[in-house]
Structures are given as C-alpha cells and as structure tokens.
Structure 1
C-alpha cells in the first residue's frame, strides 16, 4: 500500500510538472465524450478542440471567466474557503446546491478527473489542485482552463468557441462576446452562445459589470 501511494504521488507530480510546459493533447472530459461517441454514435457530437497560446487569447476572455467563476483566482492557493462555507450554509438552510469550485479546481476536474461529487473524486481533486498551484504559475492555470473548458456541446476551449460562435480568432474577442461565452460555462450543453436566452444575456451583462469593477489591469501581475 505504501509503495502504491508513493508511486501514485510521484507519477502525478511528474504529470502535472510536464503539463506546465506541454499543451494537453486532450482532457479527461474530452476522452469521456469520445468514449460515449463510440457507444452512442448518433447522440454524441464530434470534439472541437485546438490549443492556442496565452498571447493569442483576448484579455477580455481571461477577465470574463475570472469575473464570472472565481474573482479570488489571482490571490488564493487553489481553494476559496469562504465560498465553500457559504455554499455549505446555503445547502443547509435552503437545500440548494451551488458550486464553489475555483478555476484551479475546475481545471483539475476537466483535465484529469470525472464528473461526480464522491469523496474519492474530491480527494483526487484536492491533491491535483495542490500540485497544480505548486508547480504552475497562475497564468498557466488560466491558459489551460481557457483551452479545455467546454463552451458548448462538444466545443472545448476558447479557439474552437471563438471560431464556431463568432467566426474569429480568440485574440479578437470583444468584452461582450467574452462575457457571453463565460455566461454559459455553468451549463454549456444547455445554452448556446449563438442564440443566447434572456437569462444568458442578463448574466453576460452582470459579468460585464464585474469585469468593469475588477478593471483591465486585474490580471496583469499573474
């Protein structure tokens, strides 16, 4: 058992350290989608994914996802304990379950793990989040997140999303377009950036206001 734990810890550290420099060719969520496609060929769309480096991503896009998903991202060490406490209290008092995962945790989940709320998965998530925050700079975490997160059904990453939704390169995304893309992140399979519902439009407007409050220089020191 001891050697198994040591081997897992060592291999996971090597994996995380290598991906600091190498673009991920795929992710756990993409692999699952491809496997589902083999079993249900008519029900699973093809994967749209192409890596794009940080310097070719619009600053609006980075700011939009931080404003929407994790405003403490530049300063925390992978976990937002205040948001966790608020989510637990909301579940206790209102019976409502809401996410409190940081961008770091979401990156780990998408890249390495599977969907679910089991304690085992949460344990793996915590371990990989600590590794990622230790070995990757914040900019790398956000770069990988923007490249692998699902923006639509089978549409992974900012390059595929910008091309499909707006017929443009990700470096040319406007603030409004970035806010619309960030607005669908909680439920990308149920929302369409090209035909945004009233709720998505309102959420995008809220994200734009948060982007303005944070300011264009908010992520400059990462």
Structure 2
C-alpha cells in the first residue's frame, strides 16, 4: 500500500512539473474555461499574440489594476492577503501568478480544494517561468467578454485595433473590466469603470516610474 501511494505521489509530482515546464516553451492551447464556454456558446474568439506585439501600456495597466507588486513577490502578495483579511474582503488578494495558474491549469470556482491546488502550483510556476512569461500567458488566456479570450481578440472586439495599437485609455479600460468582464464593457464603460480606468492610468505610470514594471519590460 505504501509503495503504491509513493508511486502515485511520484507520478503526480512528475506530471505537475512536466505540465509547468512544457508551457515555458509551448503556448497553452486552451483552458478549462475556454472549453466550457465553447461548449456553451458553440465558438469562442481567441488568438495568441506574443508579448512583444502588445502595447507596453496595456501590460502596465493590467499589472497596476490586478497586482501592482507583481515584480516584487514570489507568487503570493502577503501584504494584500493581510489587507483583504483585515477588511473582510472575499477577493482582491489573488496575484496575477495565481490567476494564471487558475486559468491555465484549473477551473473557476471558490472551493478550498481548487484554492489548495492553486497554492501548490503557483510557486512551481514562479520558479519555472519568468515574470514576463507569466504575464504573457495571463493576457492571452484571460476572458475579456463572453467568449472573448486574450488581448488580441479583446482589442479588436472592443476597439477595432490590434493590441500593439492600444492607447493608454483603451488599455486602462480593458484592465478595468477584469476580473468580471461579462458584466462590464471596455468600449461602453459605466461611470464606475471610467473612474477605475483613470486610477489605472495613474497606477500604470507610477509603476513605470518607480521600477515595478522592470521584470516584464524589455
């Protein structure tokens, strides 16, 4: 019995490491969320784009909106976790690294089992992938509208331009609709989204100036 358990454990660890390492050089072909949405909708809009073809202001905007200390942590922002716990928040402490792990390897939901797997996988991804790679994968698998995945599809869906041509305002509005894009619009934003976008523009410029964007910029 013990031998069987050890064997299963070794295989589980080996497969996990392989699954992480393979995506350092190969782009994730799909995710559970994409498969679910494709089954529900019949088709989805998604095309991978290299990070070099994405406007830097979009990358800074996403980081400013979702995880301003992205370059400074190892997958978990302990300060944000403490603040979320102190404030009684149900969300807001997940880093971009954690969200990437969830989107690529796991499924949506709030179960403790999924969160435990996320917590185990996140440090492995942080070790194996560069910060730039984590952000590249994130902006390519994040959902920006119903059935619209990745920044290439999102840029054209909302603004009719490629991700390399996004303005600071457009980038901020795309970042502002995360992580609940199905109830928000980047091209027809509510007053709340407009206000959030203004804050993101300031935040994106702040992390550019203070060096918190260096880990993912050329």
Alignment TM-score > 0.5, same fold: yes
Give the TM-score normalised by structure 2: 0.92
- Post-superposition Cα deviations, 1:61-109, rounded to whole Å, max 9, x if no partner, equal 1000100000110111000011111111212xxxx42321000000001
CA distance in 1, matches of 2:153, 2:207: 27
Which residue number in structure 2 is paired with residue 219 of structure 1?
213
Q: Secondary structure at the match of 1:97?
A: coil
* Structure 1 unmatched ranges of 5 or more: 38-43
- For 2:212 and 2:85, locate their aligned partners in 1 and report how far apart those are by CA, in whole Å: 29
Instruction: Give the C-alpha shift of residue 15 in structure 1.
Output: 1.0
**Map of 2:149 onto structure 1:** 156
- Distance, in Å, in 2 between the alignment partners of 1:21 and 1:128 is 18
In structure 2, what is the equivalent of residue 51 of structure 1? 48
**Distance verdict in 2 for CA 1:97–1:218, change over 3 Å:** closer
Deviation at residue 126 of structure 1 after TM alignment: 1.1
2:113 paired residue number: 120
Q: Quote the offset at 1:143 in angstroms.
A: 0.3
For 2:56 and 2:7, the matched residues in 1 are separated by 45
Q: Secondary structure at the match of 2:182?
A: coil
Q: Contact 2:38/2:147 (CA < 8 Å) preserved in 1? A: no
**Number of the residue aligned with 1:67:** 64
- Tell me which stretches of 4 or more aligned residues in structure 1 moved more than 3 Å: none
Within 5 Å, give how 1:5-84 maps onto structure 2: 5-35=9-39, 37=40, 44=41, 46-84=43-81
Give the superposition deviation at 1:45. Answer: 6.3
Q: Write the deviation string for residues 154-187 of structure 1: whole angstroms up to 9, x where unpaired.
A: 1110000011111111111111100000000021
TM-score for the superposition, normalised by structure 1 = 0.91
Stretches of structure 2 lacking an aligned partner (at least 5 in a row)? none
